[in-house]
Chain A
Amino acid sequence: MRLMIQVEGLTKYYGEHAAIRDLAFTIGQGEVIGFLGLNGAGKSTTLKILGCVLLPTAGRVVIDGHDVVSNAHEVRQRIGYLPDVPPLYDEMTVGEYLAYVAQLRGVASRDAASRVGEAEEKTGLREVDGELISTLSHGYRQRVGVAQALVHRPALLILDEPTSGLDPRQIVDMRDVIRGLKGAHTVLVSSHILPEISQTCDRLLIINKGTLVAQGTEDELARKMGGGGSIEVEVRGDRARALEVLAPFGAVDVERAADGVLSLTLRASPEERPRVARALVGAGLELLRLDQGAGQLESIFLRLTHGQEARA
């Protein structure tokens, strides 16, 4: 896979304080990567460096073959960056603002209108094109922030906390927007809201106190962490038979049993789902639902960040 981002030994000091230390990771073209960490872990600092807003104290960042320090101009043509606070001009309308950003990022003025339309379509901003940014709700302002990052069709999108401050409905909408970007762009999205990352990203980078503590898919991390995952199962049939079939996979918690339907949580890696399904169906039980446990990422994240704090 062609590499979009290569980070080696990335370090940033603010005075005496190291915001990030010796970060190293790579991201392939077309991947959607979740950048996870507690507040103050160093996510925004890392993304600012990748977005050419900040220069590193040490280390090297190469984006699409260009160094962010020695060849920043080339890098800037390939990225779209949404900072933690969307950079909006309140006195402009959405359409004017996006056209301005498109031209600022090298789109010819004759193409700007079509690019603005495209970005508005992707982010659901069509109906507010003529509205002043100052009159928009927080959710729409975040969408405009995402739209400005992608209006020039960058190869890499860097989104810092795109769901920050949104209500649950707006979070779902934003998640759909980010999912819709998959394929056309490489996306690096930071957040401290775990379900958002879990449901949106192919792979995770977890940062704690300025250091990268883990990277991989959710399942890979669960395996590394000693199988912290769970599987949610809903079956119809004999309770004792169901427990007997599931016992070899791990501990079973019965959540609910009513009208012959059992809702269970199986303490096993989500990768076991196909085997669990075959075993239940083979035992003559009617399988109604089989899903990855919701709390897996949360459990991994807490263990990783807690472990780091304990060592510090």
Chain B
Amino acid sequence: MSFFSEALWVLLLGSLLGLELIGKVPPTLHTPLMSGANAISGITMLAALTLIIKSGDNLPLLIIGSISLGFALFNVIGGFLVTDRMLAMFSRKKTRK
């Protein structure tokens, strides 16, 4: 099977999984969930990494890849930290109660 047809299956099943994963979300968690999912979408950092690794010594490509990686990590690190900051406020309440 070619990469493409395999990849289409993966796309299909991944989408179905995503649709099933979240059903009822309490309103409290809308913002954190959005923020957390947003951090995960920074997974394009893998594509940026691959681009840099395979670019050999092509300088413009290295630069594009590096900027792309920077953007992705800004999204990933920032996203997870900010989500954690939000969620920390909820859990702090719980431990004290």
Query: Do A and B truly interact?
Result: no
